[in-house]
Amino acid sequence: MTHGCGCHHDDTATPDRATSDVALFTADDTVAEVARGSAEALEAMKRLGLNHCCGVHLTLAEAAASAGVAVSDVLEAVNARRLTEAAK
């Protein structure tokens, strides 16, 4: 499925990383890497207004700045499940 913006980004890709054995996402990870790595993180980016369509090439820091959101808030949101799992 492609988006109405015309970027032809395929949003049907499924995450290819497990959450229990992977390091936390960082500000240098791209939106695409995060979206592929975790369905929960993708939903968090959507909630925060990060462009997960045409902005897949942006780092989380760049996407956060573009959306007017603090990168620390983005990192907390996209890593929430990983942090919860690590605390167990």
Full-model pTM: 0.74
**What pLDDT, on a 0 to 100 scale, did the predictor assign at position 19?**
43
Q: Is 30 exposed, middle or buried (0-12, 13-18, 19+ CB in 10 A)?
A: middle
Per-residue pLDDT of the chain (88 residues; tens, 9 = 90+): 445 565 655 554 444 444 445 589 999 999 999 999 999 999 999 999 998 888 899 999 999 999 999 999 999 999 998 888 777 7
DSSP string, 38-75: -HHHHHHHHHHT--SSTTTTSBHHHHHHHHT--HHHHH
Q: How many domains does the chain have?
A: 1
Q: Which residues contact 37 (CB under 8 A, 6 or more apart)?
A: 15, 16, 17, 22, 25
How far apart (Å, rounded) are the C-alpha atoms in residues 78 and 63? 13
Give the pLDDT of residue 3.
54
Handedness of CA 63, 57, 47, 8 (dihedral sign): positive
Which residue range is the domain that position 19 belongs to? Answer: 1-88
